[in-house]
Every structure is written in C-alpha cells, then in structure tokens.
C-alpha cells in the first residue's frame, strides 16, 4: 500500500474557478445531479479534497459531483481540504474514494481495481482497504475480459452483473462465450447456457486429447458414426471378438473418437476376420437404421410445413369456425412457456423482458391481446396451438386425444397430413394387444379407426354389471376396479359408490377420491 507523504491540511475556502477536474477520474459520467439540489440554497456541506497543480490552481481528488453542482448553482467558493499528493498517491485516494460509493457501475468498478493493481496493490490489499471480499474484486476484474457484445448487453440491461460474471468463465473461448450469450438471451437463462458451453468445451478437449493419443500411436483415425456402426464398413473390435493388442499389428487396424471422447478401436476390413454370416448379423439392422433416419427427416420436414401453415393461419387468414372449439379445449390446459414462445413468433411479437433481462413471451401476448377482441382471439388461438404443437413434437403422449384435435384442425384449415404425422397420433399396441394409453383407444374408437365392437362379450373379461366397463376400458372420466363386497357381480368404483353397495363412510371416501 502506498504511504501518504503529507499530513491532513485544515479546512479552507477555495474559489470555484481555481478547481480542475481530474482527467483520469474513474467516474467519467457524473450522472444526475438532482440529489445535490440543496447546494443551490445551502452550499456545499462536505468539503472537496484537492491537491495543488504545478500550473496553478487545484486538481480535484474527491468531490467531482459536488464541484459540478456548485458550478451549476453559481457558487463562487466551496469548502476544501488541500493535501500535497504524489501522482500515485492522488490516483490511489481518488480510486478508493470512488470505489467506496455504491452508485459506481460494475465496469467502472473493475477499471478502478485494475488501476490499483497497476499501482502495486494486490487483490487482498484492495479488498481489505475497501472492506470487501477478495472474490468480489476478482470477479469484477474478470469483467474486463468480456467482449464488446457482452459489455454492451450489460450496459443496456440485456444481462445482469451475475450473468456477466458467469460469461467470464468462457473468456478464453470467445466463440463459446458469444454462443452462450446468444442462447442465454434467447431462452432467458445465461447461467445454463454457460454451463452447457463449458461441458461441451470439456468434451471437446477430451476428444482432442484422445485424437492426439491416436496420432502419437500412429493409428488410422476413422470418423465416428452418428447413429451407430450398423451401416458402417468399419466394425468395433468387440463386435468382432478380436483382441485389440493383437489386431493393432494389422494394417486394417483403426480407431474412432466418439462424441464423449472415448476411443473405440475398429477393424476397417472386417471381412478379413469374420465370416460372411457374422458380418450379415452385424449389418442386420442397416435397413431399420436407414428407415429411422428417413423418418426423422420426414418429421422435421412436416414440422416446417406445419410452421408455415400456422403462421399463415394465425396472422393472415380469417379464423376458422373450428378454432373456437379448439381454443376452448386448449386454453384450459394452460400454455407452457414454450407454447407462448411459438405463439409470439407466429404473430411476429418480440418478447418483453423482466428486470433481470429474461424474455417473457406470455407478457408480449397479453399486451397484444389488449388491443381488441380479434387480437385476444388470435393470441389465445395461437397460444393454444403452440401448447399442442409442443406436445406433437415431443416423443411422448401419442395417445393424448388433444393430438387428434390438432390434426383435425390442420385438415379443416387446408393442411394435408403426411404419413409421419398420421403415425404420430396412432398409439402403440403392446404384445397383449392392450393399448398403452387407454385414452388413445377411446379416441381411435370415436374416430372409427379402433377395433369394431361386434356386440359379443368375451366371457373371460370381467365387466362392471352396471355400466359394462372393464379394467382395460374404464368409465369416462376414469375409475378404479374393485371387487363387489356383496358378491353380486363385478363393479367399478364409480358404480359401487353410486349404488350404495358400501357403507356411507366408505362411499364418501370413494367420492372424495374421485373428485
């Protein structure tokens, strides 16, 4: 720490005209001076700190805002304390005085710490001098390594100080930092975006280390597969049941670096070691693998086609009659944030941002809906479609009846469903011919696609003697299968309660369970 060379001087009154602002003052913008309005009537109450100039007059060390307020108020003199500082002493005192003020911005604060480091102070000494933690000093200094885009986002409020500190973890990887900033602002979670980029960077470093290992061993490197080894000529040694140490001597030896950095040793000519029948067994799933890849592409193409269809439907075309029923069904389910985001995109709405800079698509839709009845209908309709579209794109819920409402709306508004979309709403049947989702079976039966009821009951299937439901096909609204306590025939829980076959207390319990 720099020692002061002169004692404190006594209070003096100094002409305002003799005061000069420090050109290297940390606070470049003095900000709003309205909080110093009392200077016009009461004068400057707290003395400014000055040091003599070689050219005459005084340089302000502390009190730049008070000086500016005095000038604005037309004061001729201000109270001051004058000390003779060396240049390094003046800079240190000026920086410490500014850094102790809470109104200083995080980047100005960081520049102040950097100047103190340049004067010879260590981070721990700065922290002790200011009464803060060394970690705080270190994190603020890290902000100086941010690129211009991140600094601009911090200045504009697009990201918070905490998020900016998170971004500094990627300072050595500018491209990943830029991607984390973009993803974080788009999805409203910079911290998670940084974590993902850090994980991917670590995986990349592992892959690069594995690649160097193979190169040092002079092993032929082959491209890692995206979907597995089924349609690749090269085959892993474990599939061929070959000893890696012995196979390494062969000219056909090779290796691939997988996405997680693992090294998989392979044979580039498996026909040299395996019979045609063995190779055929390894390639048995080639056709299925290619079919799955084609299906994935068909799903993506279908999603793009629906995207164009929805955009035109919610933003340009007149709302169809079917939309009313669809909105009433879907709004009750409450749209997710993803559904709101798609709705806002289709309507061409920019998200509103909260105090932390996170996007709020729901707020943007609410603002849009306030413009009138038609805007309200369009916003609700778009939000309902977004929620259903989110479910449609997920790998689950194939038997959800809501998907049939969605495809019905698509067909009613002129969209032609592809096979991949028809398959999406068809439930999977297990080995016992029992639908995995009972709601899907009901939906299929209503649409005419399900099994035909020929009116003949299967004597091996237990049915409720009142409503006729079974364990596989319960009552509308759902029920649980129970045994009839009076041994007069099987009953479902709904009919058991309604026909008072249990005592009043048990009936109340069942009724509460249903509700």
What's the per-residue H, E or C state across 255-319? Answer: EEECCCCCEEEEECCHHHCCCHHHHHHHCCCHHHHHHHHHHHHHHHHHHHHHHHHHHHHHHCCCC
Number of H helices, E strands in the chain: 23, 13
Q: Which helix (H) or strand (E) holds 359?
A: strand 359-360
- The pTM of this model reads 0.44
Does residue 125 belong to any structural domain of this protein?
A: yes
Question: Same structural domain for residues 414 and 475?
Answer: no
In the DSSP assignment, the letter for residue 425 is T
Angle at 96 between CA 92 and CA 97, to 5 degrees: 115
Q: Which residues contact 367 (CB under 8 A, 6 or more apart)?
A: 352
Question: Same structural domain for residues 233 and 192?
Answer: no
- Indicate the number of domains in the chain: 5
Does residue 1 belong to any structural domain of this protein?
A: no
pLDDT score for 96: 78
pLDDT score for 440: 42
Of 145, 174, 209, at which residue does a domain stop?
Answer: 145
pLDDT score for 282: 61
Question: Same structural domain for residues 33 and 110?
Answer: yes
How far is 181 from 185, CA to CA, in rounded Å? 6
- In the three-class reduction of DSSP (H, G, I as helix; E, B as strand; rest coil), residue 267 is classed as strand
Write out the residue range of the structural domain in which residue 133 sits. Answer: 11-145
Does residue 443 belong to any structural domain of this protein?
A: no
pLDDT score for 1: 43
Question: Same structural domain for residues 309 and 420?
Answer: yes
How far is 489 from 472, CA to CA, in rounded Å? 17
Question: Same structural domain for residues 330 and 380?
Answer: yes
pLDDT 10s digits, 496-512: 554 443 334 333 443 44
Q: Which helix (H) or strand (E) holds 379?
A: helix 373-393
Does residue 170 belong to any structural domain of this protein?
A: yes
How far is 250 from 265, CA to CA, in rounded Å? 12
Question: Same structural domain for residues 103 and 21?
Answer: yes
Which tokens sit at 276? 């045609």
Of 374, 407, 424, at which residue does a domain stop?
Answer: 424
Angle between helices 337-346 and 373-393 (to 10 degrees): 120
Of 107, 126, 145, at which residue does a domain stop?
Answer: 145
16 within 8 A of 63, measured Cβ to Cβ: no
More confident residue, 36 or 483: 36
* Residue linked to tokens 């933690």: 133
Angle at 123 between CA 161 and CA 199, to 5 degrees: 50
pLDDT 10s digits, 445-488: 444 444 444 444 444 455 565 556 665 555 544 455 454 444 44
Which tokens sit at 74? 């037309």
pLDDT score for 213: 92
Judge whether residue 394 has pLDDT over 80: no
């Amino acid at each position: 720490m720099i020692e002061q060379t002169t004692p404190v001087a006594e209070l003096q009154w100094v002409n305002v005209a003799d005061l000069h602002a420090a050109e290297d003052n940390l606070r470049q913008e003095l900000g709003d001076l309205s909080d110093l309005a009392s200077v016009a009537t009461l004068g400057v109450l707290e003395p400014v700190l000055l040091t003599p100039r070689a050219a005459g007059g005084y340089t302000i060390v502390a009190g730049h805002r008070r000086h500016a307020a005095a000038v604005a108020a037309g004061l001729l003199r201000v109270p001051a304390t004058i000390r003779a500082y060396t240049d390094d002493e003046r800079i240190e005192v000026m920086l410490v005085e500014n850094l102790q003020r809470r109104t200083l911005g995080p980047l100005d604060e960081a520049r102040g710490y950097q100047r103190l480091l340049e004067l010879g102070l260590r981070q721990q000494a700065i922290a002790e001098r200011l009464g803060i933690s060394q970690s705080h000093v270190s994190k603020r200094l890290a902000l100086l390594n941010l690129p211009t885009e991140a600094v601009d986002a911090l200045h504009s409020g697009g990201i918070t100080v905490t998020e900016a500190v998170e971004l500094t973890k990627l300072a050595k990887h500018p491209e990943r930092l830029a991607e984390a900033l973009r993803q974080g602002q788009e999805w409203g979670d910079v911290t998670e975006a940084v974590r993902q980029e850090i994980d991917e960077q670590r995986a990349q470093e592992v892959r690069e280390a594995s690649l160097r290992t193979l190169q040092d061993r002079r092993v032929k490197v082959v491209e890692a597969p995206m979907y597995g080894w089924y349609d690749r000529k090269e085959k892993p040694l474990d599939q061929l049941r070959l000893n890696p140490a012995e196979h390494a001597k062969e000219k056909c030896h090779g290796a691939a670096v997988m996405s997680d950095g693992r090294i998989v040793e392979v044979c580039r000519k498996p026909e040299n070691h395996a019979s045609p029948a063995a190779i055929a067994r390894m390639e048995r799933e080639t056709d299925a693998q290619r079919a799955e890849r084609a299906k994935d592409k068909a799903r993506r193409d279908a999603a793009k086609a629906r995207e164009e269809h929805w955009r035109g439907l919610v933003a340009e075309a007149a709302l169809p009659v079917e939309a009313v029923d669809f909105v009433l069904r879907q709004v009750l389910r409450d749209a997710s944030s993803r559904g709101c985001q798609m709705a806002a995109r289709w309507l061409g709405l920019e998200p509103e941002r909260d105090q932390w800079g996170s996007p709020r698509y729901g707020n943007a839709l609410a603002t849009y809906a306030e413009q009138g009845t038609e805007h309200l209908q369009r916003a609700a309709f778009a939000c309902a479609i977004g929620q259903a579209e989110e479910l449609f794109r997920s790998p689950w819920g194939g038997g959800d009846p809501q998907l049939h409402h969605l495809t019905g709306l698509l067909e009613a508004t002129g969209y032609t469903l592809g096979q991949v979309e028809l398959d999406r709403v068809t439930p999977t049947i297990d080995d016992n011919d029992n639908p995995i989702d009972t709601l899907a079976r009901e939906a299929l039966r209503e649409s005419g696609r399900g099994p035909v009821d020929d009116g003949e009951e299967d004597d091996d299937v237990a049915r409720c003697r009142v409503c006729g439901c079974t364990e596989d096909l319960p009552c509308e609204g759902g029920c649980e299968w129970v045994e009839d306590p009076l041994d007069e025939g099987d009953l479902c829980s709904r009919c058991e309660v309604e026909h008072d076959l249990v005592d009043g207390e048990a009936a109340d319990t069942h009724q509460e369970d249903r509700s």
